[in-house]
Copies of this chain bind each other. A is one copy, B any other.
Amino acid sequence: MFEIVAEKGRARAGVVRVGNITLETPAFLPVATKACIKTITPFEAKEAGCKAIIVNALHIYRRVYDIVCRIGLHNFMKWDGIIFTDSGGFQSIKKFPAFVDEEGVIFKMPDGKEEIFTPEKSMEVQRNIGSDFFFALDDCPSYPYGKERVKKAVERTIKWAERCQGERCFAILQGGVYEDLRRYCIEKILPMNFFGFAIGGLCIGEPKEEMHKIVDITTKILPKEKPRHLMGVGSPEDIIECVNKGIDIFDSAFPTRNARHGTIFTSKGKINLGKKKVKGDVIDEECSCYTCKNFSLDYLNYLFKEKEPLGMRLATIHNLYFINDLMRKLREEIVEG
C-alpha cells in the first residue's frame, strides 16, 4: 500500500506499507549491487539513515544463488531493512557478458554456460532470493541510441511488463529522450497491475535537460496514488528538482561512487578530497554523521592523499548520511507545507 500524507505543489510525502515494511518517501536507496554497499557494513548504512537498498538480482543469481535462496538475501548480507531488486534489464547497458533479445536478457554464468532471464525467470529469481520489492524485466538501450532501437526497447519492455505484473513489483518505463515513445510506453503499462512505476533509461549519458523534461512529462501522466521511482538519479540537486516534480523514490550509485573517488557533499557544497588546498578541522558543521562526529577534515583529506581505504569508507558514510538527511528535510518541508 502507498499512502500520500502531504503534498506541496507536485511534491509528495508518502508512506509505503507492505506487511511489516514501512518506508517514508521521498526516499533514497543506495546501490548494493553485489549484496554489499561498497566499503561499509549494513549497520553503518542503517546508522547513516538508510532504510532500503537496491541489489542486483542477476548478480546474485550468477554468483551465490543457492545459498541466498536457502537463507534469504536479508540474512545473507545481514541487512534488516527493505530490499529492492533490479531485474537484470539494466545489465544490457553495462560491460558485462549479457545482451538482450526478444526472449529476455542472455548472459553467461561464471562457468561459461549461457542462461536467459525471461520476464518470468527474473520474477522467480527476485522472489526466491527474498526481495521485498521487484522490478519488471526491461530493455534499457545504452546511450547514445537511435530512435529505432529505443522503439524496439519500448515494445519489448511493454510485452515483458505484462508478464511481470504483481503486487510487489514496479514496472519500468522506457522510451529514452523521446516524448512520443515515453507517452506510448506509459499508456500501455499504466493499466497493468503494478505496485508502482519506475522511470528507467535516464541518467545514462543524455543531456540533463532531457532527463528533467522526461521526468516532468512522466510524473504529470502517472496516477497520483502509486509510488514513482526514478532510477539512476542521486545528486543532491537532481533529487531536489525531481522530488519537486513528484518523484517518491530514487536509487543511484552517485553518492557512494563519488565518496570512493573523494568527492563529498556538504552543506556548503562539494569538497574534493586528497588535495593540498583542503584544510580544516570540521568536515561539515551541519552534519552529525559518524565521520563528521569522529574525524577531522584534515585527517579525511590526508587519508585520500595517501590512498588509505579507510578514507573511502568514511566518505561513503558521510555522503549517505547527507543524502538521507536531505530526503528527511525534503519530506519535512512537504509535510509542513
Per the bound structure, the CA–CA distance linking A40 and B308 in Å amounts to: 10
Query: Which residues on B sit within 8 Å (CB–CB) of A303?
Result: 36
Contact of A63 among B41, B77, B296, B305 (CB under 8 A): B305
Per the bound structure, the CA–CA distance linking A125 and B64 in Å amounts to: 51
By beta carbon, the residue of chain B nearest A37 is B310
By beta carbon, the residue of chain B nearest A296 is B76
A209 within 8 A of B: no
Q: Are A310 and B63 in contact (CB under 8 A)?
A: no
Q: What is the minimal beta-carbon distance from A198 to any residue of chain B, in angstroms?
A: 26
A78 within 8 A of B: yes
Per the bound structure, the CA–CA distance linking A15 and B64 in Å amounts to: 48
Query: Which residues on B sit within 8 Å (CB–CB) of A296?
Result: 76
Query: Chain A 297-326, CB within 8 Å of chain B: the 1/0 string?
Result: 011001101101110111000000000000
For chain A residues 273-312, which have a beta carbon within 8 Å of chain B? 294-296, 298-299, 302-303, 305-306, 308-310, 312
A261 within 8 A of B: no
A43 within 8 A of B: yes
Taking A78-B295, A294-B78, A299-B77 as contacts, is the C-beta distance between A310 and B36 under 8 angstroms? Answer: yes
A258 within 8 A of B: no
- Count residues on chain A whose CB falls below 8 Å from chain B CBs: 29
By beta carbon, the residue of chain B nearest A39 is B309
A226 within 8 A of B: no
Q: What is the minimal beta-carbon distance from A233 to any residue of chain B, in angstroms?
A: 24
Contact of A76 among B40, B64, B298, B312 (CB under 8 A): B298
Q: Are B36 and A308 in contact (CB under 8 A)?
A: yes
Query: Which residues on B sit within 8 Å (CB–CB) of A77?
Result: 299
For chain A residues 26-63, which have a beta carbon within 8 Å of chain B? 34-36, 38-41, 43, 63
Per the bound structure, the CA–CA distance linking A294 and B313 in Å amounts to: 18
A67 within 8 A of B: yes
Please name 8 further chain A to chain B contacts, defined as beta carbons within 8 Å, in addition to the given A34-B306, A76-B298, A78-B295, sorted by A numbering: A41-B294, A63-B302, A63-B306, A64-B302, A76-B296, A76-B299, A78-B294, A78-B299
